[in-house]
Amino acid sequence: MKKDNWGFFFPSNKYQIILLIAIFIYPNDTTAQCTNGVQFGSAIAPTNSLPATISTCNYQTEYSPITSIVAGTTYQINSDCGGYVTVRRDSFNGTVVSNGTAPHTFTAPTSGTYYVHYNTNIGCGTATNCCTTTITCISCSAPVGCINNTAFGSSIAPTSNAPTTISTCNFQTEYSTITSIVSGTTYQVNSSCGGYITVRSGTYNGAIVSQGNAPLTFTATSSGTYYIHYNTNSSCGTATNCCTTIITCTSCTAPIGCVNTSSFGSANAPTNATVTTISTCNYQTEYSTISNIINGNTYTAGSSCGGYITVRSGTYNGTVIAQGNAPLTWTATSSGTHFIHYNTNSSCGTATTCCTTTIQCNTCSIPCTSGDGTGTTTLGCPSVLSGGLGLDGADPIPMDCNSVSTCVELEATYLQLGNTTSYTVESIDYAPPYQFNCLQNPVSVNVDDIWSPVINLPFNFCFYGNTYNSCIMGSNGMISFNTAAAGGASGFEFNDNLPSTAGALFANTIYGVYHDIDPSVGGEVAWELITLNTGCRALVAGWNNVPMYLENSILYTGMIVLYEDSNIIEVYIKEKNIDSYSFIYSDAWNYGNAIVGIQNAAATEAVVAPGRNGLGTNWTATNEAWRFVPSGPSITSLQWFEGSGTSGPMLGTTDVIEVCPTITTTYTARVTYTLCSGTTITETDETIVTVIGDKTWNGSIDSDWNKNNNWTPVGIPNNTDCVLIPVTPNDPIISGTNYNGLAGTLRILDNATLTVNSNNSITVTDWVNVQPNGTFDIHDNSSLVQINNTTNVGNIIYRRDTDIRRLDYVYWSSPVSGFNVSNIPAPIAPGPIFTWNTTLANPNGGQGYWVGAAGSTMQPAIGYIMRGPNSFGNTPTTLNGSFIGVPNNGQITTSISRGSDTNTATHYGLNGTEITNFSDNYNLIGNPYPSAIRASQFLFNNNTTIEGNVRLWTHGTLPAAITSPFYDTYTYNYTPGDYFIYNFTGASCCPATGSDLFIGAGQGFFVQMIDGPPASGVVTFNNGLRNPSYDNSLFYRNANQIETQTNLTNLERHRMWFDIINSDGLNDRTLIGYIENATMGRDSFFDANTAVAGNMIIYSFLQEEKLTIQGRGLPFDVNDVVPLGVHIPTSGQYTIALAAIDGLFENQAVYLKDNLTNNIHDIKENPYSFTAQQGTYNNRFEVIYQNETLSNPDFSFENSVRVTSNENVTVHSTIELMESVLVYNVLGQKLAEYNNVNSNQLVLSNLQKNNSTLLLKIKLQNGTTSIEKVIY
């Protein structure tokens, strides 16, 4: 701003009249003390004898404040206009310190700020011409001058009065070298930054020639090289901003210009601001011809060689238009052809090196290319981006259907907007949405400090809670919604922080950057409506290459963007500098103030970028950007929908949600913005969660699992397929007889159902996943078999039916996790429920007792017993049991224990019932799976922990007359209170039972821990025990399948089942067999112990141990004798009978010997009846295979086989030659085989000795086989 435009600084006519009255009243007062009311200019009191400039344009109607006055110091005030000076202190109209004509000297009585008033005379006359005012400290010593150590810039001393540029970027920390100084010549040194100058000669730190504030004039006292030091003040302050420095010879005459006679190079005068090359090789002995110069345009002629330029018009040696150092700027005074002469200096020196010469039109417009109206932004308009969590809008990685869970987190990224009642400001990446120049709608063209005409917005814009459809732009970098000010002056001066309306600060305005720039000198101010890549629009207001006021070489380029709908405001600063011109202030022009911020309509609230308010530290910036985001109550809401679009189920309203699709599914995020006008806008984005599947049930034909066309793609699933069961009109059913469905994984969706009918199964290689409202219904006697140890999700229903009476107990084990035992017969209330505690003291003085378990959660692999419901009677009724929960799978372990009884001798409890060392070893466990398990494999896997037998309660068979399976004619009743005992010899109860036992799902059973001191251990179940071929009706592989290490059940067996029957037809049974791999000693896998518990019982003996199952070694020897024992609870008539036989006993005679009566009875012919008193008979009966009373066999020499062990094992046969010898360990594993022996003696030298029991199967050449046992 020029001072003559500051009308508000000058007295009005009214003020002048008052002043004249004052002069009239006091015309002859010789002690006049003047008081002016207008302040202009200021200074800090100097501390040395150099004068300090107060102002270069004080009017004799003004006063200037002088700070830092020191008491007792003498100062002199001067004005180059002369006149009268009044000095006051404390305030502008305070106590008079001194007064008099200029120059006026006074001594300060106190320290502080003084006020110097300027008038024309003692009568306080006034004048409005510019006066340079100074203050000098008379009593201060002269300054010692400054010394800088960094050299930059140099020049030859000028020989004419044309200024010579030393440098365009000297720091006020440097010195420059000036050569060819002429003694007695007067020079002036100046800096665009002002400050303090010290001139030295000889060396850079040599003698001081002169010093003072810039511009500094001095007369050279000697010829040679001088050094000019630049500082900010006489205290040698420093600064590192660029300053243009020049030297002028003020005592030299004006140059007359140069005239060269050689012409080279020509050009048309440019019509825009583009630099035009005249020649790439002009010598500094030539001139160039420039045609079409336009009167009034300003041009700059340049040369890459620098030097001196003379511009002439008319002819090559015509009138001098301008002259000076290159580059030379001049304003044309006429149109036509001009001639530019190039020389090395103002003395018209010459050189013949190639120089590139140019001309530029400074006042012409800058050529530019208009934009296409399309902008780009990453965020600034309402938008939403949906995708996988942390994937920046990308879809989640496709999921394999084999994953147990297809759950994934989705994320919506969107612009979160608040109401415009308040804002936040944030620094953002510098990425302007559009170009700065050539915007479609120029405003404030060549006019400074003015508001534009009204700009009608093509959209409503909300600002501080109000809606606007128009605005105005200010020349100095602002947008306002105060459209009433359109076309008026905008002012420029402010010296306050927002919020404020002091000076030229305005309410309801966006500032970015607001500072004093001057579009009247050059640059562009314009706006354009653009469409963004997001689809919404924005208003772009740009200030491009606009010069700073006064320092026009410093340019500003910036942009304000108003975004449609979002009401976001962005400010982009490409280049912002400080106008360092010091006209009246001690620092930069207009204090260097600049603002980036916004202010509301009442000027009570403002949000300003950090460090960018009016009174902040002066700053510069390049490529800086700020965003003002409405931060009042949210106008943004988010919703997630399943499916493409928003017609599907609404899933959530949070930025991140978890979804669990089972098939490929699209999800839609919708963001709604409620604008201040009450209207709403919505943005949506979709993301796809891909589930890679194999087989999906479609049920297009019927419910039969086993039909190809019921599946998509066509074909029945195999054991590697991911099987998906969705909701269809026909739910799938696995039916038939012993049909086994297959799946790699199985997933059942909400409201879908899969049923496995009785006596069928499904085998799943990996996991099962049943969604919360899905149904997986497995009926009685059916199985769910799984191969791999994977984790299941979701509940199945496993049904188990059994026929019982009210007083019958059922042994249960849960095939699912977390199931309440009392809910098995739901909705029917159960009878009493117990589980077994192995070491709990019982009433018989032993250990092992029942513990109530009603209402408890069934633990995996633990057995429970439940009595029939009270609602049942004595007639068998079907109990429909069911289990609901996650199906158990994989390895499951459960603890077992044993008590302290290790007494192997016969002993009795407190009630007289027999107790054995195994009585406190019983553990009630159970099948933990929803499928049958193989008992033989289970026993083998746990052979180091438990005895080789399992015991199942045969709860469902009632006492009834049944046909004897052996005699066909003899009838008796089967005892319902007995246990079904199984080991590798066979099943104690049931001759028809196969060689292996398959324990049904839901079945509890007893095992015995191997005897020893009190201890605990674990038994382990795994998926290797499961197979769809296993019979699951006795309620009594593929990947990772665990195979049996030896064939446990395909053994040679020869067996007899003996019953004892009382007069009521009730019976008990024992099993005796001759079994491959059994020995004549105690074998865990082949022998099962028992004890007399008070009921009628029959058992065999092995030494002193009572056995309910006894497996004896092969080969069979007709001379073998097996003792039988019985317990008779009541005196009377009893019968011992054969229930069944197999193997060699189909043809082998079997006799029952009664040692009491010496009777030998052919038990195969008919049962043996006897009378006995109550008691236990351990020696009365024997099973033999020859009737000694029928014949006396001849004496003969018999062959004998024996085995000895020392360093080696040696086998001897006394008569017969041996054919082969097979060696086994007690687990039945073959260790060695010797064939074609053909000898009576064989040394087994290659056996490893480890003090374990070995079983030798020795076959003689006569066909006889002998089993021998040896420890080696």
The one-character DSSP state at 280 is E
Give the DSSP H/E element, type plus range, for residue 321: strand 319-325
The DSSP line for 1050-1075 is: ---EEEEEEEEE-TTS-EEEEEEEEE
| CATH at residue 1213 | 2.60.40.3580
Distance set, CA 1237 to CA 642, 808, 1248 (Å): 80, 59, 20
From the CB of residue 1169, how many other CB atoms can be counted at a distance below 10 Å? 13
| CA–CA distance, 118 with 133 (Å, rounded to integer) | 9
Residue 838's domain comprises: 796-954+989-1025
**Domain CATH number, residue 310:** 2.60.120.380
Residues 284 and 239 in one domain: no
Q: What's the pLDDT score for residue 61?
A: 95
Tell me, yes or no, whether 554 and 594 share the same domain.
Answer: yes
DSSP H/E element including 935: helix 935-941
The domain boundary residue, chosen from 1184, 1210, 1242 = 1184
User: Which has the closest alpha carbon to 1158: 1190, 1180, 1132, 1178?
Assistant: 1180
**Number of compact structural domains in the chain:** 8
Residue pair 88/97 in contact by the 8 Å Cβ criterion: yes
> How big is the CA angle at 1073 (ends 1067 and 1077), to the nearest 5 degrees?
145
Residue 637 inside a domain? The answer is no
133 and 155 fall within a common domain: no
Alpha-carbon span 733 to 762, nearest angstrom: 11
Residue found under tokens 């009247």 = 520
Residue 1071 lies in a domain: yes
| Structure tokens, 1088 | 């099962």
**C-beta separation of 567 from 557 below 8 A:** no
Task: From 89, 83, 130, select the one nearest 106 (Cα to Cα).
Answer: 89
- Per-residue pLDDT, 1035: 57
> Which three-class secondary structure state does DSSP give residue 927?
coil
Q: Looking at 308, 331, 361, which one is the last position of a domain? A: 361
Are 442 and 551 members of one domain? Answer: yes
Report pTM.
Answer: 0.51
Q: Are residues 1062 and 1178 in the same domain?
A: yes
Inter-CA distances, 178 with 162, 206, 255, 865, 982, Å:
16, 14, 20, 115, 119
Residues 1156, 1214, single domain; the answer is: no
What pLDDT score does 586 carry? 42
- Asked, for residue 228, whether it belongs to a domain, the answer is yes
Residues paired with 1065 in a beta bridge: none
Q: What would the two tokens of residue 1052 be?
A: 């040679």
Q: What is the mean pLDDT of each run of 10 residues along the chain (1272 residues)?
A: 34 33 36 87 87 90 95 95 96 95 96 96 93 93 88 88 85 95 94 93 92 92 95 90 90 85 94 89 96 89 94 92 90 91 93 95 79 86 87 88 79 89 95 94 83 93 94 96 93 92 95 93 92 90 91 90 92 91 58 94 97 94 95 93 94 94 89 85 92 87 96 93 93 94 93 96 94 96 95 95 88 96 95 94 88 96 94 91 97 96 87 85 96 93 94 56 36 45 87 83 94 96 91 48 45 93 88 94 92 89 93 94 95 92 94 92 92 93 83 44 81 87 80 90 84 85 83 82
Using alpha carbons, select from 1162, 1142, 1146 the residue that is nearest to residue 991. 1142
Q: What is the 3-state secondary structure (H, E, C) of 342-374?
A: EECCCCCCCCCCCEEEEEEECCCCCCCCCCCCE
On whether both 535 and 467 belong to a single domain, the answer is yes
The residue among 857, 241, 1001 whose CA lies nearest residue 554 is 241
Cis ω on the peptide bond leading into residue 1115 (within 30° of 0)?
yes
Domain presence at residue 409: no
pLDDT at 1034 (0 to 100): 59
pLDDT of the residue at 615: 92
> Does 917 lie in the same domain as 862?
yes
DSSP summary character for residue 975: P
Domain assignment present for residue 1191? The answer is no
In a domain, residue 213? The reply is yes
Give the single-character DSSP code of 1145.
G
Q: Does residue 19 belong to any structural domain of this protein?
A: yes
Residue type, 582: S
The residue out of 109, 137, 165 marking a domain boundary is 137
Q: What is the CATH number of the domain that holds 69?
A: 2.60.120
Residues 462 and 520 in one domain: yes
Q: Is residue 1227 part of a domain?
A: yes
Note whether 484 and 608 are same-domain residues. Answer: yes
Same-domain pairing of 346 and 434: no
Q: Are residues 1171 and 1132 in contact, defined by beta-carbon separation less than 8 angstroms?
A: yes
Strands 216-219 and 1241-1244: unpaired
Q: Are residues 609 and 481 in the same domain?
A: yes
**Which DSSP category does 4 fall into?**
G
871 SS3 class? coil
Q: Where are the beta strands (DSSP E) in 335-484?
A: 336-343, 355-361, 374-375, 384-388, 399-400, 408-414, 423-427, 441-442, 455-463, 466-474, 478-480
Helix (H, G, I), strand (E, B) or coil at 126: coil
Sheet holding 636-642, edge to edge: 650-652, 636-642, 665-674, 680-689
pLDDT recorded at residue 32: 75
Residue of 1254, 1212, 1255 whose CA lies nearest to 1237: 1212
